[in-house]
Amino acid sequence: MTRILTAICLLAAMPSRAGLPDPLVLNEAGSDDGPTALASSTGRSTAACVADGFGVTPLHMKTALRFSLLALAGLLAFGPASRGAEPGRPNILFILCDDLGINDLHCYGRQDHRTPHLDRLATQGTLFTAAYCAQPICSPSRAAILTGKAPARLHLTTFLPGRPDAVSQKLLHPEIQMQVPLGEKMIPEYMKAFGYVSGAFGKWHVGGNGFGPLEQGFDTYHVGSANTKPSDTEGGKGEYDQTAAVEAFIEANRNRPFFVYLAHNTPHIPYAAQPRRIANNAAAFDPVYAGVIETLDDTVGRLLARLEALQLARKTIVIFTSDNGGLHVPEGTHPKITHNTPYRAGKGFVYQGGLRIPLIVRWPGHVPAGRVVDDPVINTDWIPTLLELIGERPPSGLDGVSLAAFLTGRAPAPARTFFWHFPHYTNQGSRPTGAVRDGNWMLVEYYDDAKAELYDLGIDIREQHDVAARQPGRVAQMRAALAAWRKEVGAQTNTPNSQYDPARFRELYIAVDASRFDPAIADPARWEQMWSWRKGMNAAVPRAAKKGKRE
């Protein structure tokens, strides 16, 4: 068996095209329109994903073969989902990235990024193409993961401490919660009752002093630190330091069930990469960003190797995901960061580029290997899902639902409608909005001008063709559903801005629609326009209020 696995992996790892993996070409036509053509909840193989959903042409069929070989290696290494699993409660390794877009991993179709360890993880588990964040910005999305509740219900709907109001806004922001209240039960508090030891590592960002991980059920917390001169031992955002701390925690608790919440600060701006990784990725959209992604992938590989060495791989649920979509506009000192093609916009927007996040789940013997799932799920689902996976009954009163039966291939995806409430203007150029996904229909409602847009994701995954005018009945129905949901969760609302400057509003939100900026195809003139716009956006925020405001 060892010889077979070695041969397969060597074949799969054979270099191509100057050492880069063959590109997974995104389909430019037809109803698939990229990697997320909606399919049945039974899923499909990872190899099939490469061959059809990602639109691989005959020229690139060897890429599909390489992915097929890796998937076969994963099946041989861990066995099918029906084979005997390890007894006892499973461990949980939850890896959360910061601003990692769904298009940032090679296994999702990104041609110019190297992620071999995550690609292999995808073949050994299930990859989701329509996993959603509960809010397209960090703090509320993290709060949703940890509590199982919608940000609108928590009244924590933007990053902490929030963006100050400005005269360029028609509406004022609601006054948000500055932390998740201690009365809101988090994942480790549930797990503790069932004998789990829990460790938090990295970014928190859902509360300050007195509202940290140790107050919310974690037994240990390792912060880590950023590093402006990355090395193989530190990384640009403390990736290696945090990874080493997780390895030590796992080894110390190898004989009892553990829950690890590893919240990387990567690849959030500002970022830096080792010079050799920048050189290796010289042809990438942004070589530095690509180097950061490669570093992140390397740290994931180290953790997976440690699980193998400790003989814990078969009894550990590994979850890899992100808090929100990738940052598609210039920010800070970074002129070009990433793109979410084929999806519209990115972080801070309730379009697909801001809401869709990467999600890979592996649990040998339980979660099918090499499966790609196109059914939508959302990150409020983790508490009920994890509790059911460890054999416990999920509590009532949560906004998330259990995906346990679906994840393990025993049932179809739960049928439901998805809602978002984002009553904020953002640094990325978005305006107060709500959104609804019902089947393939996606409605986006603007709160500051009562406009609604409607998209059929089955044929328009790029959200370029608004069909609201042709579907007035559907628009009215979905807007009514959104309004009813807002009332049910007690969502906060905006109020008029008495200092509103219409000229500034038109300059920042109408003359430039940042949601339609596509960095993948932008020419130098368009980039110059976006840089100028970004300076104006920064200048719109009162200077005295800027200090400490970080998303």
Mean pLDDT by 10 residues, the chain (551 residues): 40 37 30 32 50 29 45 54 61 99 98 98 99 99 99 99 96 98 98 98 96 98 76 76 96 98 95 92 97 96 99 99 98 92 98 99 98 98 99 97 98 97 97 99 97 98 98 99 99 98 97 97 95 93 56 58
Q: What CA–CA distance (Å, rounded) separates 459 from 373?
A: 18
Q: According to the model, what pLDDT value does residue 12 have?
A: 45
Q: According to the model, what pLDDT value does residue 288 have?
A: 94
Q: According to the model, what pLDDT value does residue 221 have?
A: 98
Q: What CA–CA distance (Å, rounded) separates 10 from 235?
A: 28
Q: Which of 205, 328, 366, 421 is catalytic?
A: 205
Residue of 117, 129, 123, 115 lying closest to 54 (CA atoms)? 129
Please report which helix (H) or strand (E) contains residue 437, including its range: strand 433-438
Q: Which of 107, 138, 328, 339 is catalytic?
A: 138
Sign of CA dihedral 117, 123, 125, 130: positive
Q: According to the model, what pLDDT value does residue 236 have?
A: 78
Q: What CA–CA distance (Å, rounded) separates 9 from 29?
A: 33
Q: According to the model, what pLDDT value does residue 85 have?
A: 43
Q: According to the model, what pLDDT value does residue 156 have?
A: 99
Q: According to the model, what pLDDT value does residue 218 have?
A: 99
Q: According to the model, what pLDDT value does residue 13 have?
A: 41
- Computed on alpha carbons and rounded to an integer, the radius of gyration of the chain in Å comes to 22
Q: According to the model, what pLDDT value does residue 6 have?
A: 38
**Structure tokens, 5:** 């696995």
Please report which helix (H) or strand (E) contains residue 360, including its range: strand 356-362
Q: According to the model, what pLDDT value does residue 495 have?
A: 98
The angle at the Cα of 440, spanning 361 to 348, to the nearest 5 degrees, equals 65
Q: According to the model, what pLDDT value does residue 2 have?
A: 37
Q: According to the model, what pLDDT value does residue 447 have?
A: 98
Domain ranges of the chain: 2-160+189-418
Protein fold of 2-160+189-418: Alkaline Phosphatase, subunit A (3.40.720)
Task: Tell me if residue 460 falls in helix, strand or coil.
Answer: coil
Neighbours of 508 (CB within 10 A): 22
Greatest C-alpha distance within the chain: 73
Neighbours of 223 (CB within 10 A): 16
What are the residues facing 49 on neighbouring strands? none
Active site residue 106: no
Q: According to the model, what pLDDT value does residue 228 have?
A: 61
Q: According to the model, what pLDDT value does residue 42 have?
A: 47
**Structure tokens, 259:** 């829950």
